[in-house]
Amino acid sequence: MSEDLRTAALEYHAKPRPGKISVEVTKPAATSRDLSLAYSPGVAEPVREIAREPELAYRFTAKGNLVAVISDGTAILGLGNLGALASKPVMEGKGILFKLFAGIDVFDIEVDAEDSQAFIDTVVRIHRTFGGINLEDIRAPECFEIERILKEQCDVPVFHDDQHGTAIVVGAGLINALEIQKKRIEDIKVVCVGAGAAGVASVRLLIEMGARKENILVLDRKGVIHSRRDDLNQYKAALANDTDKRTLNDAVEDADVFIGVSGPDMLTPEMVKKMAPRPIIFALANPDPEIRPEVAKAARPDAIVATGRSDFPNQVNNVLCFPYMFRGALDVRSTSITEEMKIAAVHAIAELVREAPPQEVLDAYGGEPLTFGADYIIPKPNDPRLLGRVSSAVARAAVDCGVARKGYPSHYPLSSLDEIFPEL
Ligand SMILES: NC(=O)C1=CN([C@@H]2O[C@H](COP(=O)(O)OP(=O)(O)OC[C@H]3O[C@@H](n4cnc5c(N)ncnc54)[C@H](OP(=O)(O)O)[C@@H]3O)[C@@H](O)[C@H]2O)C=CC1
Ligand SMILES: CC(=O)C(=O)O
Ligand SMILES: [Mg+2]
């Protein structure tokens, strides 16, 4: 990162007040009458109602529009295990994106947990406060078991963003990139560097979408994950192929698609040159991608290149998913987030780039036209159409697959955040 950007980022977080998010009051609280409703004695009435009927927490408290963004700080972006407290800027950042794009309130919670069980116990004990739980930046393989157990033990949707949010945006971006590059998902050879949360979930989703497992080579720090390795956890073992390829340099030969969810500068120009014609390169590690787009493009002008960052074209980032996944899930009071909801989100995100974006999106991105093509394979994060399209698709899928406790909302599709509380 340049020194300028570093200084600006620290200044942004520090001033004019520390941090990026605050709590707001939503009811009048100025007079003694207001206070006797908001606090004692009036507050006793919703307490009694909720004790009698727990579902009424959705009517009388902020629960139904409140998501916990929870991390243990063990895999912060691509920076590694820097501890719970150091993850707080990222969790506050997720909070502002939830609020800005989907009107969802967030408490960010950073848990000092000595092991997975301690983390799980903490989340289970606090989960009733929230309408949903967004797990963030928890290292693999622990994240898989943590999410599985929390899904069983919590009666609100639990979603590990780095797994599923990332997989969904990879799927959406890939549908469009493949169309532009004139390739079919059934035929492509894929190399995925990173076999953690994002890598495992992305490869699983691509297989669900039609990619062939035998055409996908996944790598970790020790190289290609192949069936003769005896050091694989169960999640990596499930993705192992019988292959003689051992290094990234071997794996990229004739690959159609590179997915990087690992760390900086893994992919060299020489490797990019060995890829198949019209390659697709998703270098998604944050903050520094596996290869910089200008370097990849210089090596292969026929490539489509995406990163996870806001300062290059094609930002394949889970911000395009998690606000709307939770908006849809909360609004139908879904008990979980299912494969059907994820696939619905993939297609809703992918389809948006085929229509011209609103002027406000163009203005925010320098005023240049954005048309479906190599530099516009996925919507921009500030595209207001994401709210209506993705939330509706998710809500519809939840209702159709039987996990919704409420019907498809009569006020959907949302055209703005002013509409999220229809009874007001
Ligand atoms: N653009 C986006 O929306 C998103 C991007 N990401 C990015 O993806 C990356 C991984 O995140 P996540 O899956 O949550 O992290 P995890 O810690 O769960 O997994 C990281 C994986 O990357 C592998 N890895 C790390 N460094 C190397 C290396 N030098 N060579 C080969 N493999 C390597 C690790 O290998 P091993 O198993 O051997 O340790 C591990 O399999 C991060 O940079 C993160 O910022 C993540 C989520 C969303
Ligand atoms: C974007 C994100 O969630 C990550 O890089 O971890
Ligand atoms: Mg993350």
Identify the helix (H) or strand (E) that includes residue 50: helix 44-52
The number of the ligand 1 atom at minimal distance from the alpha carbon of 319 is 3
* Ligand 2 centroid from CA 5, angstroms: 19
- Beta carbon of 317 within 6 Å of any ligand 2 atom: yes
Do 260 and 325 lie in a common domain? no
* Ligand 2 centroid from CA 57, angstroms: 32
Do 371 and 244 lie in a common domain? no
pLDDT of amino acid 1? 81
Do 25 and 105 lie in a common domain? yes
* CATH number of residue 115's parent domain: 3.40.50.10380
pLDDT of amino acid 368? 84
The number of the ligand 2 atom at minimal distance from the alpha carbon of 318 is 1
Pocket of ligand 1 (CB under 6 A): 75, 77-78, 139-140, 162, 166, 169, 193-199, 219-222, 261-263, 266, 284-286, 308, 316-318
The number of the ligand 1 atom at minimal distance from the alpha carbon of 195 is 41
Q: Is 285:262 a contact under the CB 8 Å cutoff?
A: yes
Examine residue 6 and state whether it is found in any structural domain, yes or no.
no
Identify which ligand lies nearest to the alpha carbon of 286: 1
Q: Give the chain's residues under pLDDT 50.
A: 424
Measured between alpha carbons, how far is 391 from 248 in angstroms, rounded to an integer? Answer: 38
Task: Determine the angle formed by the axes of helices 197-208 and 166-181, rounding to 10 degrees.
Answer: 50
Examine residue 424 and state whether it is found in any structural domain, yes or no.
no
End-to-end CA distance of the chain: 45
Question: Residue 341 is part of which domain span?
Answer: 318-419
- Beta carbon of 288 within 6 Å of any ligand 2 atom: no
Annotated catalytic residues are: 39, 94
Examine residue 223 and state whether it is found in any structural domain, yes or no.
yes
Do 34 and 54 lie in a common domain? yes
- Beta carbon of 134 within 6 Å of any ligand 2 atom: no
- Beta carbon of 163 within 6 Å of any ligand 2 atom: no
Do 99 and 224 lie in a common domain? no
Q: In b/e form, how buried is each residue of 325-334, taking b as 16+ CB within 10 angstroms?
A: bbbbbbbbbb
pLDDT of amino acid 289? 97
Examine residue 179 and state whether it is found in any structural domain, yes or no.
no
Predicted TM-score (pTM) of the model is: 0.97
The number of the ligand 2 atom at minimal distance from the alpha carbon of 317 is 1
Examine residue 176 and state whether it is found in any structural domain, yes or no.
no
Strand order in the sheet with 190-193: 223-224, 216-220, 190-193, 257-260, 280-283, 304-307
Handedness of CA 78, 84, 85, 89 (dihedral sign): positive
Ligand 1: residue whose CA is nearest its atom 2? 317
Q: In b/e form, how buried is each residue of 271-285, taking b as 16+ CB within 10 angstroms?
A: bbebbbebbbbbbbb
pLDDT of amino acid 269? 98
Measured between alpha carbons, how far is 158 from 334 in angstroms, rounded to an integer? Answer: 10
Examine residue 143 and state whether it is found in any structural domain, yes or no.
yes
Do 31 and 122 lie in a common domain? yes
- Beta carbon of 196 within 6 Å of any ligand 2 atom: no
- Ligand 1: residue of 193, 203, 221, 311 to mutate (most ligand atoms within 8 A of CB) is 221
**For the chain, what is the domain count?**
3
Q: Is 267:290 a contact under the CB 8 Å cutoff?
A: yes
Do 399 and 335 lie in a common domain? yes
- Beta carbon of 194 within 6 Å of any ligand 2 atom: no
Do 324 and 388 lie in a common domain? yes
pLDDT of amino acid 25? 96
For the residues of 82-96, what is the DSSP string, one character each? --TGGGHHHHHHHHH
- Beta carbon of 79 within 6 Å of any ligand 2 atom: no
Identify which ligand lies nearest to the alpha carbon of 198: 1
Do 190 and 230 lie in a common domain? yes
Ligand 2: residue whose CA is nearest its atom 3? 162
Ligand 2: residue whose CA is nearest its atom 5? 77
pLDDT of amino acid 338? 97
Measured between alpha carbons, how far is 387 from 395 in angstroms, rounded to an integer? Answer: 12
Identify which ligand lies nearest to the alpha carbon of 308: 1
Do 274 and 401 lie in a common domain? no
Examine residue 16 and state whether it is found in any structural domain, yes or no.
no
Residue with tokens 């007079």: 31
Torsion from C-alpha of 329, 334, 336, 339, nearest 10 degrees? -60
Do 329 and 240 lie in a common domain? no
Do 220 and 147 lie in a common domain? no
